Each structure stands twice: as structure tokens, then as C-alpha cells.
Amino acid sequence: MSSNSKRHGYNNPKYKNPNPVKIIPLGGIGEIGKNMTAFEYGNDIIIVDCGMSFPEENMPGVDCVIPDFTYLRRNQEKIRGILITHGHEDHIGSLPYFLREFKCHVFGGTMAIELIKLKLQDKNVPLEGIKLTTCKNGDIIKLGNAFSAEFIRVNHSIADSYALCINTPVGRIVHSGDFKIDYTPINGKTINLQRLGELGKDGVLMFMCESTNVEIEGFSPSEKHVGEAFSHYFRKAEGRIIVATFSSHVHRMQQIIQAAEKYNRHICLSGRSMIQVFNIANSLGYIDIQPDTLIDIDSIDNYPDNRIVILTTGSQAEPMSALTRMAFNSHRSVDIQKGDTVIISADPIPGNEKPIYRVINELYKKGAHVIYQSLADVHVSGHAYRDELMMLHTLIKPKYFIPVHGEYRMLCLHKEMAESLGMPEESIYIIENGDVLSLTEDGAKITDHVPASPVLIDGTATVDADDRILTDRIHLSEDGCLAIAITVDERTGDLACSPAVNSMGCFDSDDMDVLYELISNKVDDLLKQASNKAGSIEAFLEKRNFREQIKNFVSSKSGRRPMIIFNISYVNGYSDDEYYGDV
């Protein structure tokens, strides 16, 4: 037993700490995205990761989704620091929003810290009061009185990824971060299985482990595997080669550079984030490249096609990305031409297949040869498959376990997997975002809930998910909108003129004028009937019945149910034109 576990009392039968450490996930459970978990003991809170999610289909106009910080806001004075496992968006993407409000100390690997700096700069977050500290394998950080955390190297699809061992007064909590086991990683730095095994031997109270690929049997292929595939396609290609991949995947970038140099091609970079990350990685010494390999994208016409590799963003067919622009002829320097080989070195993010296939179709139309995941081994996952997960569980041998970083079914499968390794069912906790899981040596239970609904960001404002704004946007996007302007004569209370009708996105232009007239007449009729009954037009307009009648009328004449907006204005008998005409 180490001195550490003695101090914390774990595994020492004479001492049991009755006070729990609270584990509070604010995001990342039941979803892949916006990972963020708070750990609280007494007066100390530490946070692991601060990620964002991409908006779902039912969130039109939303730029990104971040966790709810309400609980942390209420306990701001307790926050001792944020630990970042690695630099992917689902782990650092919310930091600009968080750090704008909470000035605190962030600890993370080199690559993550560099990407965070870039992000804060991009979003103009004032750096005053914020401290960023770079950590490496084996570093132990003390946070407040209750916590310390050790960074343990893992393999993943971004450089400098870490698992964390969080030492608490109750016992050790190991958080896997995102990981895979790669025996032949590109930078030669294998996951520190030895340290994880040592911790397991010493005693781990709680294991929180990612579940992304729990559905896939076996062992994920090494990143090296992709290099072999690149080599194969680079050898065969006769024209230009265009490779799209995630800009943060520095090891993938390195393999593309290596293949280019092997086949005597120059590399040029396309896409803002590709250039930014290349510069960071290069300045950190993570990129091995000959001085004359890199050329400027504007100079590609000076080289024969079979000497060119374009490394680009857009592997997810993001609308504004470089590859999408190339495919649709709107890129500044590159148009796809016959004989190009395009390699998409990434998996579609689930749910994003359609736009990707649209881009692939377009690339084929332009005469390119496209190599993508369902045809070739040009991508391997950065997340552990089942056998790798089992190995980590076996090494760490935790007393308790929480599956994280997965949709609900993945968490359940991960639970079943842990049970198959001999873990009692009651030692595994499937929890939800916002649950407060109070953990002692004798077990854990949910003791409270904190707000953890997704917070939607639109531009610089937040959108309440329950607000009408999103349902309105969906209605507008599906059915268009019809505006009816009603002008009332202030003196008589009657209509001053026929209602004016206008619309967007709901009628064919051929039918429009006829429909406008029909609708105007109908509104006119109904309002005249109303004023005959001596009620005010305004009061009548407020009636649900009136709106329903118009809706049904529009639907019966056009077959559509657009959103209808009534606009009422008043005149005093003289139009503005006449008045100004007198001056």
C-alpha cells in the first residue's frame, strides 16, 4: 500500500471516512459531447473537462451547446481548478464561455493548453485572472485541501491525451479520459499501462471510463495502420492528392507528411484550423518535415499535379470548410479536377452522413476519385474497442465503476461488460447529467440533483431550450410564414383598407397573387362581421377562433399551414403621404 492510500485511509480497515466525495456530471453522460464533471469534497470543487456539443437537428440557428454552470456559479468560491484530459472540442469547447465568467486555473497537456490559448484568443476572452498550466505524464497537481490529481498518458486521436488519477480523502478515482491502447503509436509514446496497473494494485475506489466504442468487439487497429493505407493510395495516385482529416489529429498529419515525402510530393495546407494546428504542432516539435516539403497553396500551379498533396479541413463536410468549398467550386485556390484523388481520413460523426455523401457525390461529379471510410482503411478510431476496455478494467480493478462518455445504450453495454469481468451489479452506477453521486468507501448513492440541461448558444446569446424560439424556427423552416397587415381607422374603429397579405417560403409564385387576394377578402369579411357585432376589431383579432378560421382557410386553399403573423396598425384618416404632401 502506498503512503498516499494510507493517508487517505482507503484500504485501511481501521479508518473509514464518513464524508462523501460528490461526483457531479454536468455533461457527457448519456451523450457523446460537452463532457464536464465536478468533484466536490468539503470546501473544494475540482472540474474535469469543459466541453461543448454540436447542435442537434431540432436546434436551428444554434451554434453550439454547452453545460449548465448554475451549480458551479452557486459554489464559485469552492472551485480549485479545471483538469483537461485532452484538446478535443467535446472536452475544451466550453472553456471560452466558462473562463469568461469563472477566472480559474486550468491544467492540461501541452497540445490541449495550446489549443485553449488559441480558442480564448479567437473568442476574445480576457486572460486576466486565468492561469493555464501545462502538465505531462506523471505530474501530480495539488488542488485545495481535498484533492490532488495525477496525469497519466494514454493514446488517443490527438497528441497529449491523459487519464487522471484523482486522489480524494475517500479514495482514488481514476478517470480514463478518451483513450485507446496503441502499442505502435506515431510518437512512440504508448499509454502508461504500467502506472494504471500500479494504481490498480494499490487500490482504486472508483473508475470512470469512456464507452464510445463499447459496441465494437476486439482491439482497435493502431494509428500506424493508416500510414500503410496512405502509402498504398499515394503510390497509385497519378494526379493531385487531397486528404481531408481532423485538424487536431497531429499524428495523422504526420503520417500524411511522411507519405508525401516518400512519394516525392509537396504538401500544402488548406483551412484555417489546419494551418493553425500545424503551426502549433510544428513549433512544439511534434511534426517531422523536410524544409522544402511545405509549399503555399497559392503556388500549386507551379508544380506538376503528381507532386502535390493538399491537406485540408472538411472531413465532416462542414458547409464553410475547405473541402466543401473545393467540391462546390467556391474555394479561393483549388478547384477539383479530373484525376484528383480525394482521401477522407475520418469517420462521419454519427448523424452527419448525409452532408458527407453530398460532398462525395459532388467530388465524383467533378471527376475525382474518392477514397472514404466505407471503402478503405484510411481512418482508425481513437477510442478503445471492447478488448481494450476490458484490459483497462482488469488492470485498474476498481471497487466501483461509472461508465461515461457514451449514449445510454453504450453505458448499459459497458455495465454488462464490467459485470462479465466479475464486478457485482450493485457496484456499477449508471447516472445522468445533474445527478449528485455521493461516494464513500462503502458505496455510492444519488443524494441530489443539480441543473444540467443543455445551454444553447446562438451567436453570443444563450437560447432557452424550452423557449418558443426554437419551435418557431422549426415551424418557419418547415412551413414558411404568412404576414397579414390590418389597418384600422382610429376614428371609426373600422378597417381603413383591405388587409395586405405577404408571405415567405409557403406559396408557389404562380399561385401567390390569387391566394393573397382570397386571404385578404376572407380576413376582410370576418372583420366586417365582427365590427357589425359592435365588438372592437382589436379584441376580435385576439380571439383564438379568428386565428383558427384564417389558418383553416389558408390550409383549405393552399394545402399549407404556414406560421401566420398579424400586424395591426392605426391611422387617423389622413395618410402620411397627404400630410407630407402639404409641407
Taking the complex as a whole, the smallest distance from the CB of residue 196 to Zn ion amounts, in Å, to: 18
Taking the complex as a whole, the smallest distance from the CB of residue 101 to Zn ion amounts, in Å, to: 23
Task: With contacts defined by CB under 5 A, name the span among 90-98, 110-118, 229-237, 488-496 that binds Zn ion.
Answer: 90-98
Provide the terminal-to-terminal Cα distance of the chain, rounded to the nearest Å.
96
Q: Is 178 in the site for Zn ion (CB under 5 A)?
A: yes
Of 5 and 53, the one with the shorter C-beta distance to Zn ion is 53
* Residue 380 vs residues 23, 184, 213, 409: alpha-carbon distances, Å: 32, 13, 12, 22
Task: With contacts defined by CB under 5 A, name the span among 111-119, 177-185, 279-287, 366-374 that binds Zn ion.
Answer: 177-185
DSSP-assigned letter for residue 222: P
Of 384 and 482, the one with the shorter C-beta distance to Zn ion is 384
Question: 267 has which bridge partners?
Answer: 294, 309
Of 56 and 202, the one with the shorter C-beta distance to Zn ion is 56
Of 137, 158, 132, 131, the closest CA to residue 149 belongs to 137
Task: With contacts defined by CB under 5 A, name the span among 102-110, 170-178, 303-311, 363-371 that binds Zn ion.
Answer: 170-178
Q: Are 345 and 315 in contact (CB under 8 A)?
A: yes
Of 178 and 340, the one with the shorter C-beta distance to Zn ion is 178
Q: Is 88 in the site for Zn ion (CB under 5 A)?
A: yes
Q: Are 450 and 24 in contact (CB under 8 A)?
A: yes
Taking the complex as a whole, the smallest distance from the CB of residue 215 to Zn ion amounts, in Å, to: 16
Encode 488-524 in three state secondary structure.
Answer: EECCCCCECCCCEEEEECCCCHHHHHHHHHHHHHHHH
- Coil, strand, or helix at residue 342? strand
Of 185 and 200, the one with the shorter C-beta distance to Zn ion is 185
Taking the complex as a whole, the smallest distance from the CB of residue 415 to Zn ion amounts, in Å, to: 19
Amino acid, res. 512: M
Letters for 130-169 (x = contact with Zn ion by CB under 5 A, - = none) are ----------------------------------------
Of 371 and 404, the one with the shorter C-beta distance to Zn ion is 404
H-helix or E-strand containing 394?
Answer: helix 386-396
Q: Are 173 and 205 in contact (CB under 8 A)?
A: yes
Residue 409 — φ and ψ, nearest 5°?
-65, -35
Provide the pairing of β-strand 266-270 with 308-312. Answer: parallel
Could you give the residue ranges of the DSSP H alpha helices within 42-173?
Answer: 70-74, 89-92, 95-101, 110-122
Of 90 and 340, the one with the shorter C-beta distance to Zn ion is 90
Taking the complex as a whole, the smallest distance from the CB of residue 156 to Zn ion amounts, in Å, to: 6
> In whole angstroms, what is the distance from residue 431 CA to residue 460 CA?
31
Task: With contacts defined by CB under 5 A, name the span among 42-50, 81-89, 272-280, 508-516 that binds Zn ion.
Answer: 81-89
Task: With contacts defined by CB under 5 A, name the span among 63-71, 82-90, 248-256, 509-517 that binds Zn ion.
Answer: 82-90
Of 81 and 109, the one with the shorter C-beta distance to Zn ion is 109
Residues in 404-423 that interact with Zn ion by CB under 5 A: none
Of 123, 3, 113, the closest CA to residue 64 belongs to 123
Taking the complex as a whole, the smallest distance from the CB of residue 88 to Zn ion amounts, in Å, to: 4
Task: With contacts defined by CB under 5 A, name the span among 7-15, 83-91, 277-285, 417-425 that binds Zn ion.
Answer: 83-91
Of 251 and 331, the one with the shorter C-beta distance to Zn ion is 251
Taking the complex as a whole, the smallest distance from the CB of residue 161 to Zn ion amounts, in Å, to: 7
Residues in 283-342 that interact with Zn ion by CB under 5 A: none
Taking the complex as a whole, the smallest distance from the CB of residue 445 to Zn ion amounts, in Å, to: 27
> In whole angstroms, what is the distance from residue 242 CA to residue 371 CA?
10
DSSP-assigned letter for residue 525: H
Strands across the sheet containing 79-83: 131-134, 105-108, 79-83, 44-48, 36-41, 21-27, 435-440, 443-449
Task: With contacts defined by CB under 5 A, name the span among 103-111, 173-181, 297-305, 312-320 that binds Zn ion.
Answer: 173-181
**Cβ atoms within 10 Å of 276's Cβ, excluding its own:** 17
Task: With contacts defined by CB under 5 A, name the span among 85-93, 300-308, 506-514, 541-549 that binds Zn ion.
Answer: 85-93
Of 86 and 386, the one with the shorter C-beta distance to Zn ion is 86
Of 114 and 178, the one with the shorter C-beta distance to Zn ion is 178
Taking the complex as a whole, the smallest distance from the CB of residue 82 to Zn ion amounts, in Å, to: 16
Taking the complex as a whole, the smallest distance from the CB of residue 87 to Zn ion amounts, in Å, to: 8
Taking the complex as a whole, the smallest distance from the CB of residue 12 to Zn ion amounts, in Å, to: 35
Taking the complex as a whole, the smallest distance from the CB of residue 133 to Zn ion amounts, in Å, to: 20
Of 413 and 523, the one with the shorter C-beta distance to Zn ion is 413
Amino acid, res. 293: T
Q: Are 340 and 369 in contact (CB under 8 A)?
A: yes
Q: What is the CA radius of gyration of the chain?
A: 30
Q: Which residues bind Zn ion (CB under 5 A)?
A: 88, 90, 178
